[in-house]
Amino acid sequence: MHRVLLDSASGIAAEIRAGKLRSRDAVESHIEHALKVNPQLNAIVADRFNLARREADQADQRLQDQGPEELPPFHGVPCTIKECFAFAGMPNTSGLVARKGLQVREDATAVARIRAAGAIPIGVTNTSELCMWMESNNRVYGRTVNPYDATRIVGGSSGGEGAIVGSGASPFGLGSDVAGSIRFPAYFNGVFGHKPTGGLVASTGQYPMAARDALRFLCTGPICRRAEDLMPLLRVLAGPDGVDPACEPMPIGDPASVDLTRLNVKSVPSNGRNRVSQPLQAAQGNVAEHLRSLGASVETVEFAPLKRSFELWSASFGSAQGRDSFKQEMQRSTSGLWLHLLLWMLRRSPHTIPAILLGLVENVGFWTPKRTQRFLDAVEALRAEMTEAIGPNGVMLYPSYTTTAPRHNTPINLRFDWLYMGILNVLEFPVTQVPLGLDEEGLPLGVQVVSVPGNDHVTIAVALELERAFGGWVPPWEAAGKALSERK
């Protein structure tokens, strides 16, 4: 296995600038690995391998012509892009059959910034239908499977990104997150993901797009196999673009400035409603004890309102986005969701069952105005309570989900377990998803590291330390080799 498949994007960029590695070789190694693993994973759904090779050759020529001093931070480094982002010359369907064959002419803001930073996309990756479910499966591209176990989901909606980064075929990818869509794929595929503070990164150029105040809940961020790439990529992505009204200038701190020995840590074992498996509880406990060993102040606490996470998320998102927003997107190509439920039963619908059901029930969060306001007030109270408890130099440890990656089609039976992530979007807190090795079945474990708005650098500093202490991403081929050895 070529060592470049283990390195961070920052490490690859440093070797290219130093003349120790050609961009063409870095790109080619990742393409070759993608050609090997993607037929099973179905993570990259449209490639640009030949264009990427030409761009890598141009990157090598630029280095030769002008030297390393003026090169952008990710010069010549391969990457991947979630298909819901507009990317010139590439499809932008978000898994909707009615958009099949559609290509766009301009890059989304985040894509343009990644490319201006020197990165070379090798392809675009799969999503759930209209990016609104935690399993990446649709009628345009089909299902993406987990690189650690093909019977397991990859998460959604950035599931293709999580799978291809977790497989080693891309050092980092671009994802988006309105209820866990960066963090679920990062968690289930054993890599790092960062949901930024609400409003830090412009989301312009995605389809579908959040509306009105819900733009604060939709966050664009990186999925990486190595933690050291999180902050450099966040700096590339952050800042207003003059189009997204929810994005505003914010200072970004330095992870190196965070004193972990003085960190305030609140470990929250559950939301009081959805039970967390013992291996995940144990992994979170190990993280808490490790931070305590460094000198951090660690306390196990509960926030009672988290038990009402569904009501709080639904009221916040529904009030911010407006009624029938998802249904309206569906009905641009579909007349009558009840009809399509029947057609789905007959295996004739162009939609997946999660998309149909979501369209039918999305207004569940619209209670009477008085009750809705009561939930919105509760969100503000919870935000204030958690902000005070975590403090300016603190983090909260919180489960990523109730189990490791579930088997295909089962999340629809797990009801509201996704709220371990979703509630943090409406609170607008920054969150870093951190891998913590594998369980006895060879599936990734992990934890969410949460802080108060503006403290993205604090959660990333903790992620860097946890990678050092617990090992971070475990390449699937190493996991497979270990399992084979144990069977022998």
Encode pLDDT of 460-475 as tens digits: 999 999 999 999 999 9
Q: Residues 163-201: pLDDT tens digits? A: 999 999 999 999 999 999 999 999 999 999 999 999 999
335 counts as catalytic: no
Q: Do 205 and 152 fall into the same domain?
A: yes
Q: Residues 421-454: pLDDT tens digits? A: 999 999 999 999 999 999 999 999 999 999 999 9
Decide if 221 contacts 194 (C-beta within 8 A).
Answer: yes
- Average pLDDT rounded to a whole number, residues 148-177: 98
Catalytic annotation, pick one of 8, 82, 309, 400 = 82
**Dmax (CA) of the chain:** 66
Q: Do 90 and 158 fall into the same domain?
A: yes
82 counts as catalytic: yes
Number of Cβ within a 10 Å radius of residue 368: 8
Rounded CA-CA distance 154/172 in Å is 16
Q: Residues 32-89: pLDDT tens digits? A: 999 999 999 999 999 999 999 999 999 999 999 999 999 999 999 999 999 999 999 9
- In CATH, what number is assigned to the domain containing residue 217? 3.90.1300.10
Q: Do 188 and 159 fall into the same domain?
A: yes
Q: Do 359 and 402 fall into the same domain?
A: no
Decide if 19 contacts 130 (C-beta within 8 A).
Answer: no
> Would you say the C-alpha torsion 374, 379, 382, 388 has a positive or negative sign?
negative
Q: Which domain holds residue 361?
A: 324-365
195 counts as catalytic: no
Q: Do 361 and 472 fall into the same domain?
A: no
Pairing mode, strands 431-438 and 192-195: antiparallel
Q: Do 267 and 341 fall into the same domain?
A: no
Q: Do 26 and 120 fall into the same domain?
A: yes
Q: Among 59-63, 261-265, 316-320, which stretch is predicted with the lowest mean pLDDT?
A: 316-320
Q: Do 402 and 359 fall into the same domain?
A: no
Q: Do 345 and 426 fall into the same domain?
A: no
Rounded CA-CA distance 298/368 in Å is 41
How many structural domains compose the chain? 2
Q: Do 138 and 231 fall into the same domain?
A: yes
Number of Cβ within a 10 Å radius of residue 418: 24
Pairing mode, strands 264-267 and 192-195: unpaired
pLDDT > 90 in the chain, percent: 82
**Is 87 strand, coil or helix?**
coil
Mutual angle of helices 353-361 and 337-345, in 10-degree steps: 150
Q: Cα dihedral angle (53, 58, 64, 69), rounded to 10 degrees?
A: -110
Rounded CA-CA distance 320/366 in Å is 11
Q: Do 356 and 457 fall into the same domain?
A: no
Catalytic annotation, pick one of 158, 181, 203, 319 = 181
Q: Do 312 and 340 fall into the same domain?
A: no
Domain closes at, from 336, 365, 394: 365
Rounded CA-CA distance 4/27 in Å is 9
Catalytic annotation, pick one of 23, 157, 167, 400 = 157
**Is 449 strand, coil or helix?**
strand
Decide if 340 contacts 349 (C-beta within 8 A).
Answer: yes
